[in-house]
């Protein structure tokens, strides 16, 4: 079973990397980009048999390691 975890910065947390990318897009004359926030994507192969079990495992993985919940949110997609 395949899964994808997306970790993003919470609203209000300053993202200097996103800001730098935003500036770089402007310098490339790519118009119409209001703002950029950078995050992380994890693609995982799971041995779990069903989606509910996979969700449980991934939630634990996010809480314990993949995200720092002080500053980050995470989103789990299974299948």
Partner 1 sequence: MRSAVLLFPGLNREGDVARALTQASGQRPTIVWHAEHELPAGTDVVVVPGGFSYGDYLRCGAIAARANIMNAVRAHAARGGIVLGICNGFQILCESGLLPGVLMRNRDLKFICKMQHLRVERADTVFTHHYEQGQNIKVCIAHGEGNYVADAATIAQLESDGRVAFRYADENGSIDGSANPNGSINGIAGIYSPNRRVLGMMPHPEDLIDSLVGGTDGCGLFESLAQFQKLAA
- Contacting residues toward partner 1, per CB under 8 A: 13-14, 16-17, 20, 64-66, 68, 70-71
> Considering the complex, what minimum distance in angstroms separates the CB of residue 27 from partner 1?
15
From the CB of 69, what's the least distance to partner 1, in Å? 10
Give the residue with the Cβ less far from partner 1, 49 or 64: 64
Shortest reach from residue 52's CB to partner 1, in Å: 25
Render the chain in DSSP notation, one character per residue: -EEEEEEEEPTT---HHHHHHHHHHHHTT-TT-------EEEEEE---SSHHHHHHHHHHHIIIII--TTTEEEEEEE-
């Amino acid at each position: 079973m395949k899964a994808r975890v997306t970790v993003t910065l919470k609203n209000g947390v300053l993202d200097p990397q996103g800001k730098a990318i935003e500036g770089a897009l402007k310098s490339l004359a790519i118009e119409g980009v209001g703002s950029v926030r950078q995050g992380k994507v994890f693609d995982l192969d799971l041995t779990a048999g069903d989606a509910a079990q996979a969700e449980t495992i991934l939630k634990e993985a996010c809480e314990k390691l993949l995200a720092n919940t002080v500053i980050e949110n995470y989103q789990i997609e299974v299948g």
